[in-house]
Structure 1
Amino acid sequence: MSRRPIGIIVNGVTGRMGYRQHLVRSLLAIREQGGVPLADGTRIWPELILVGRNESRLRDIAERHGLTDWTTDLTAALARDDVDVYFDAQLTQQREKAVRQAIDAGKHIYTEKPLAEDSAAAVELARAADAAGIRTGVVQDKLFLPGLRKLKRLVDGGFFGRILSVRGEFGYWVFEGDWQPAQRPSWNYRAEDGGGIVMDMFPHWHYVLAELFAPVRAVTCVNATHIPRRVDEAGRAYPATADDAAYGIFELEGGIIAQLNSSWAVRVHRDELVEFQVDGTEGSAVAGLRNCRVQHRSVTPKPVWNPDLPSGESFRSQWSEVPDNDEFDNGFKVQWEAFLRHVVAGEPFPWDFMAGARGVQLAELGLRSAREHRRIEIPELDR
């Protein structure tokens, strides 16, 4: 069995997502399984170069995982001939400059979302990458969640008939940081540092809605900063200037209406941190991160509204579990494998910079809708 090494810069590995999901659960897991197999029997083998700004934290991570190649000098790393791919999991504000450097260096690029702080910059990055002839990708991990893969199977199989609506709930209570430490970094709640739940979650909602159901044609959004004061990692109080909740209505092609609530100021009373209910003429489904339940038209009960009597029906028990029928690997790892096959073997990979730019566009127009208190139609982005 031959091994095809591919040099990958991992920038932002000291952050939560960069470390846990991309380094440990994806790239190191790929190495542990012997690489990514190709049709000819070759295996793609990631050779990792860790990049970050904090030397001591980089050294600690490298030593913890038996890695020896790390640096705080991104320019020098990009100049190396043995580097094929640049990956970026930095703060959004730092991403555009680094991605431009990688384009100029002729490296293939895979990056966390959002690709840039606004859609104009994101489209410009896509055009520059096209002109340089490099392959690009943006993380769209929720498409690979077991629950949404089961939901996609139902859509593709015609289970719903004509889809009428999608309702989604995402979020959990992020502690303010005073009497309990916050579960998310403080920059998420400062607009001046690129924080805000609209820019964080609307790019996700864009690809989930477009890939599973239909393109988004209009958005109406109300956002809020429900918790105006938080405490940072050093115990200092600071004003929260970014939105921590967003309530969106998305009009999809074909008449489907999607209502998605995103909040870091909500206490969870559902089975999973994110759930989508899809209703159609022939059936309905509720999908989360891992599970998916369905109720077909033929077994739909006939409840009658009567506020004077307690309900005699156990509504949750009237739904059936969708079987796995497959093995579901970590979603970040699955997309990494697809991107590496795209780079090495030219296999299709639709989640490129333009896909990322459309997600940024939806977040941008969602924020505009909230500011202007009106519905905004989504124009086509010209590549």
Structure 2
Amino acid sequence: METLGVVMNGVTGRMGYRQHLVRSILAINEQGGVELSGGRRVRLRPVLVGRSAAKLEAIAARHGIPDWTTDLGAALADDRTTVYFDAQTTNARVAAVTRAIEAGKHVYVEKPTAETLADALALARAAREAGVKNGVVADKLFLPGLLKLRRLIDGGFFGRILSVRGEFGYWVFEGDWQAAQRPSWNYRAEDGGGIALDMFPHWAYVLENLFGGIEAVTARAVTHIEERVDEHGRPYKVTADDAAYAIFELAGGVIAQINSSWAVRVNRDELVEFQVDGTHGSAVAGLRRCRVQHRSATPMPVWNPDLPVTEPFRDQWQEVPDNAEFGNGFKTQWEMFVRHVVDDAPFPYDLASGARGVQLAELGLRSSAEGVRVEVPPITSGVGA
């Protein structure tokens, strides 16, 4: 069986550890590796990298992983490693990924790929010029709810799609009377924080892969909670946006409205939901569920504020069945990227697509700062704008 060495930088963080190491890399090995063409299989040999030797040693011991180091250069110099993966904080990503590309490693990167479009484009160009394969995590596309939504789109359920409305977020505790469930760097712009930079790259690949390319954005990014308390109990001033409200104009005339907030209390079935309305039907998709209402079963509500609501609106929607077994989306994408590296299988979510996500965040923040609608120029796979 073949073995593929993977340098994993940032596994001491929640996402890097739980989703990428445990539920992806280790889960892949537990199932016997990634199946390749011709029935071959490849196992993954993780090399853990980070700043804290104590945390790395503890994770390595917990899972029986022999290779870990705080020296990124040494890990990249090892000829037994082929792939570099980065799940660090955003402000540390560009320098590390650049080093990996220069070392000739194929690179797989969490989003956003950079803090600025210029840096994101520089990474994409560097990978292209070096001839290394590259990919960006696009996990939301592999959620069961969105996979069902994809099925509806492919089956022509909606007719002509008119609009998309998305709601994402939850209340992140301020850290004083109850510990915050997100790291404090998320709320400091100087450390690469901000919900627009965090979430707009997600909305970029979701919208362009499901509904059409984004042609313009109008956004308002705000800081609702101006002071928080960090992991050490110290108050700090919030310098990044914690909510962003945006309208995206898509190719073909579809209008998408998406609210993103870490200062909203949840009154919906799931932490993220998208409602898609079309001429022939509508759907509401979340992380796992997807419900539909066809035009033939659409009731006729009548506006009458003088009477109580008599229609059980939520009960009038039909559940979309699974009709398939949905695996962990991060693991599925890891398997795709491994096949891309070893078998040259297609992988559409490259650093150029990652740059489009950073571009959308940058233009959204510009729209907010200037109070204007901003057109989104194209970025091609050749990383030309």
Q: TM-score, normalised by structure 2?
A: 0.98
Give 1:249's aligned residue: 247
Instruction: Read off the aligned partner of 1:278 and give its amino acid letter.
Output: V
Unmatched tracts of structure 1, length 5 or more = none
Q: Does residue 344 of structure 1 match 2:334?
A: no
Unmatched tracts of structure 2, length 5 or more = none
CA distance in 2: counterparts of 1:5 and 1:279, whole angstroms: 46
The superposition leaves residues 294-345 of structure 1 with CA deviations (integer Å, 9 ceiling, x where unpaired) of 0000000000001111121100010000010111001100000000000000
The superposition leaves residues 156-198 of structure 1 with CA deviations (integer Å, 9 ceiling, x where unpaired) of 1110000000000000000000000000000000011110000
Residue 85 of structure 2, aligned match among 84, 87, 91: 87
Q: Does residue 263 of structure 1 match 2:261?
A: yes
Instruction: Read off the aligned partner of 1:269 and give its amino acid letter.
Output: N
Give 2:4's aligned residue: 6
Instruction: Note the C-alpha offset of 1:39.
Output: 2.5
Instruction: Note the C-alpha offset of 1:124.
Output: 1.2
CA RMSD of aligned residues (A): 0.6
Taking the TM superposition and a 5 Å limit, the aligned residue runs for 1:222-301 are 222-301=220-299
SS of residue matched to 2:274: strand
Q: Does residue 46 of structure 1 match 2:32?
A: no
Identity of aligned residues (%): 70
The superposition leaves residues 124-171 of structure 1 with CA deviations (integer Å, 9 ceiling, x where unpaired) of 111111111100000010000000000011011110000000000000
Q: Which 4+ runs in 1 deviate beyond 6 A? A: none
Instruction: Note the C-alpha offset of 1:73.
Output: 0.3
CA distance in 1: counterparts of 2:89 and 2:67, whole angstroms: 22
CA distance in 1: counterparts of 2:143 and 2:347, whole angstroms: 17
CA distance in 1: counterparts of 2:81 and 2:37, whole angstroms: 24
Q: Please tell me whether the aligned partners of residues 10 and 50 of structure 2 are also in contact (alpha carbons under 8 angstroms).
A: yes
CA distance in 1: counterparts of 2:96 and 2:200, whole angstroms: 23
Give 2:125's aligned residue: 127
Q: Does residue 203 of structure 1 match 2:201?
A: yes
CA distance in 1: counterparts of 2:370 and 2:154, whole angstroms: 37
Q: TM-score, normalised by structure 1?
A: 0.99
SS of residue matched to 2:163: strand
Taking the TM superposition and a 5 Å limit, the aligned residue runs for 1:141-220 are 141-220=139-218
CA distance in 1: counterparts of 2:114 and 2:309, whole angstroms: 50
SS of residue matched to 2:111: coil
Instruction: Note the C-alpha offset of 1:381.
Output: 2.0
Instruction: Note the C-alpha offset of 1:262.
Output: 0.2
CA distance in 2: counterparts of 1:380 and 1:320, whole angstroms: 38
Give 1:303's aligned residue: 301
CA distance in 1: counterparts of 2:141 and 2:299, whole angstroms: 31
CA distance in 2: counterparts of 1:359 and 1:294, whole angstroms: 29
The superposition leaves residues 327-369 of structure 1 with CA deviations (integer Å, 9 ceiling, x where unpaired) of 1001100000000000000000000000100000000000000
Q: Please tell me whether the aligned partners of residues 37 and 343 of structure 2 are also in contact (alpha carbons under 8 angstroms).
A: no
